[in-house]
Amino acid sequence: MPFIIAIDGPAASGKGTIARALAAHFGFHHLDTGLLYRATGAKGGDPVLAAQTLTAGDLARPDLRSAGAGQAASRVATIPEVRAALVEFQRRFALQEPGAVLDGRDIGTVICPDAAVKLYVTASDQIRAVRRAAELGAHVGDMLGELQERDRRDSERATAPLKPAADAVVLDTTELTIPDAIARAIAQVDRARA
Ligand SMILES: Nc1ncnc2c1ncn2[C@@H]1O[C@H](COP(=O)(O)OP(=O)(O)OP(=O)(O)O)[C@@H](O)[C@H]1O
Ligand SMILES: Nc1ccn([C@@H]2O[C@H](COP(=O)(O)O)[C@@H](O)[C@H]2O)c(=O)n1
């Protein structure tokens, strides 16, 4: 039985940083599920058809990390048929041996409700905006508005809204360095594997 780690949380909270580090530490596969929605939004045309026909090339577009691609992703992510088109790929990915780490918004609640470890990674709005602004070379105020708008859309949508799973461990990275946040996540996984 593969070991599944589900990581959810709001935008720029540090999910991807922790997910990549856990995958490297434990030798697991990693899927950044946000990339599926970013690629769907960036493809244009009918979003449902875009999600149904995603290719490796779509996921390798160089413009997917932009704030605009994040906004487009969160709009198509409100469409139930788009989400449905992406479920099977994510669940199949999660079943790879020896284990997999998936990060997104609905991994612990919808995609992998039986995951062995569920982390809900969060941080204050302000610190997330500062970190994302540094990453993209953008203004903190612009990033703050962008993140808050996306979080609101993600939390308020009817299908698979952003929320912690009832059995998720909350990891607030506001006051944590990257190595400290990773160490806490590794400790949670070690505890579950013991
Ligand atoms: N604990 C931390 N301390 C300082 N910077 C951090 C910390 N965690 C992550 N970062 C930085 O914050 C930015 C956002 O982190 P990351 O991309 O991991 O977030 P995310 O939740 O995966 O974002 P998204 O929702 O857009 O996929 C990155 O530049 C990352 O290096
Ligand atoms: N499991 C997921 C993952 C992502 N989304 C939507 O995609 C947007 C971009 O995600 P990032 O992780 O790359 O920031 C995000 O704002 C969500 O709207 C999702 O719905 N479910």
CATH code (residue 100) = 3.40.50.300
Residue minimizing CA distance to atom 6 of ligand 2: 74
Residue minimizing CA distance to atom 15 of ligand 2: 74
Q: What percent of the chain has pLDDT over 90?
A: 99
Is 16 labelled a binding residue? Answer: yes
Residue minimizing CA distance to atom 9 of ligand 1: 14
Number of separate domains in the chain: 1
Q: pLDDT digit string (tens) for 92-101?
A: 999 999 999 9
Q: How large is the greatest C-alpha to C-alpha distance in the chain, in angstroms? A: 48
**Of ligand 1's atoms, which has the minimum distance to the CA of residue 11?**
25
Question: Rounded to an integer, what distance in angstroms lies between the CA atom of residue 122 and that of residue 120?
Answer: 6
Q: Domain range spanning residue 52? A: 3-193
Is residue 118 within 8 A of residue 169, CB to CB? The reply is yes
- Residues contacting residue 113 through CB under 8 Å, at least 6 positions apart: 165
- Does ligand 2 lie within 6 Å of residue 105's CB atom? yes
- What average pLDDT does the chain have? 97
Is residue 153 within 8 A of residue 160, CB to CB? The reply is no
The average pLDDT across 109-138 equals 97
Q: pLDDT digit string (tens) for 33-79?
A: 999 999 999 999 999 999 999 999 999 999 999 999 999 999 999 99
Is 57 labelled a binding residue? Answer: no
35 alpha carbon to ligand 2 midpoint, in Å? 7
User: Which pLDDT belongs to residue 1?
Assistant: 85
Q: pLDDT digit string (tens) for 140-165?
A: 999 999 999 999 999 999 999 999 99
User: Which pLDDT belongs to residue 31?
Assistant: 98
**Of ligand 2's atoms, which has the minimum distance to the CA of residue 103?**
1
Q: How far, in Å, are 64, 84, 99 from residue 163 at the CA level?
A: 24, 18, 24
- Does ligand 1 lie within 6 Å of residue 12's CB atom? yes
Amino acid letter, 28:
F
